[in-house]
Amino acid sequence: MLATAEALGLLLDAARCVAEHERIDTLDAANRVLAEDVVSPLDVPPMHTSSMDGYAVRAADLASASDAAPVALTVSQRIPAGHAAEPLADGTAARIFTGATVPPGADTVIMQEMASASDDGRVAFAQTPAVGEWITKQGADIRRDSVILPAGTRMTPQALGFAASVGCATLAVVRRVRVAIFFTGDELRMPGEPLAPGAIYNSNRFVLRSLLEKLGCDVSDLGIVPDRLDATRETLRRAALGHDLILTCGGVSVGEEDHVKPAVEAEGRINMWQIAMKPGKPLAFGAMRRGEAAGGDPGDLGEAFFIGLPGNPVSSFCTFLLFVRPFLLRLAGVDNVAPRFYSMRADFTQKKGDRRNEFLRARVNEAGGLDVFPNQSSAVLTSTVWGDGLIDNPPNHAISVGETVRFIPFSELMR
């Protein structure tokens, strides 16, 4: 069995970014990955602007201002945001609003709370301002011709706003990763269907499809495949056409009814099988030939990648988050795919460690420590709803109360 770090490294080394790009409206680019750098065509802000409602003045005109002897200036113009500003007349002030253009000749803004306006069109100041006060300089946020978003950036809502702030109406993005998914098991039923003796509802279909869609994949759901070698091979052949990755759930262990691994070996190849982790040991990685095309490196025209997940619901959930998610992001062109982890206090005891790398479902308690779900079975999906994330516990490591452990929130594993 491979160690988790070794297995992840194998997957990421094999992943190659999708070659095809497309240009789409920036409004439609949420969660897409940039294929090209975004270079700003302008300064942001494009002019000096006021960061307060107040008055734009020359600081020198108020050099003698004091509480005892305020200086009064005539208000020569009014400048709302989005309107042009005239040069500031000598010895005058301009009424200005937040975000408005600072008029040429003014070198400071005094907020309105520090001024006394009168009905005769004049305003008095009792303090001498500092030059540059309450002015946001042109280009303070973004400089023209600078790379503001490099290729490989996944477009979050704030990144979309950043691109829009420099006037990008469209963005060049990597084509969506195409994933075919299917599930094996004669015992599987869909919600709404009656449960025969020995049957269970297919919760994995809902979890995995949702996770794929959250990552922005183009998903082809091929449904539930009968537990037969011929049916599995036929579905794999169909899934290889037009997809970057084939993802299966179930059938990758060593039982007589586990047909996925031998089917892949017949139609392609297995590069990796079984990881020293709990839950999720029977994870398989390889490639499938497309039609009659010759084999070769994964990602070329002749092959589609293959990842086979275990059938137990927590096992499939955890292995997707820890292995499939970073693999898919790397296919989409994202460079940094590692989730952030946090060092946190264990408020529980685990007297005996497992020989494999354990991923314990845990949640943050009100005291800022971590509790673990009492039943860590790979069949208990309740633990994934109850928990906030996974404790990454090394092999053969017992955990004591108060010990610092490595915690990976689900929010990190799903972003």
- DSSP letters of 306-350? EEEE-SSHHHHHHHIIIIIHHHHHHHTT-S--PPP-EEEEB-S-B
Given the candidates 3.40.47.10, 2.170.190.11, 3.20.20.70, 1.10.3470.10, the CATH classification of the domain at 49-136 is: 2.170.190.11
Q: Confirm or reject CATH 2.40.340.10 for domain 342-413, answering yes or no.
A: yes
What is the pLDDT at residue 273? 87
Residue 245 neighbours by CB under 8 Å, 6+ apart: 177, 178, 179, 180, 304, 305, 306, 307, 327, 328, 331
Residue 295 has what pLDDT? 43
- Residue 173 and residue 154 in contact, taking contact as beta carbons nearer than 8 Å: no
pLDDT value for 254: 56
- DSSP H or E stretch at residue 410: helix 410-413
Question: What are the extents of the domains in the chain?
Answer: 4-19+176-331, 21-43+142-174, 49-136, 342-413
User: Residue 292's pLDDT is what?
Assistant: 53
Phi, psi of 328 (to 5 degrees): -65, -40
CA distance linking residue 65 with residue 61, whole number of Å: 9
User: Which stretch of DSSP H or E encloses residue 214?
Assistant: helix 203-214
CATH architecture of the region 21-43+142-174: Alpha-Beta Complex (3.90)
Q: Provide the pLDDT for residue 185.
A: 86
Ranges of the chain whose pLDDT falls below 70: 253-257, 292-301
Question: What is the pLDDT at residue 300?
Answer: 46
In terms of Cβ atoms closer than 10 Å to its own Cβ (0-12, 13-18, 19+), residue 120 is exposed
What topology does CATH give the domain 4-19+176-331?
Molybdenum Cofactor Biosythetic Enzyme; Chain A (3.40.980)
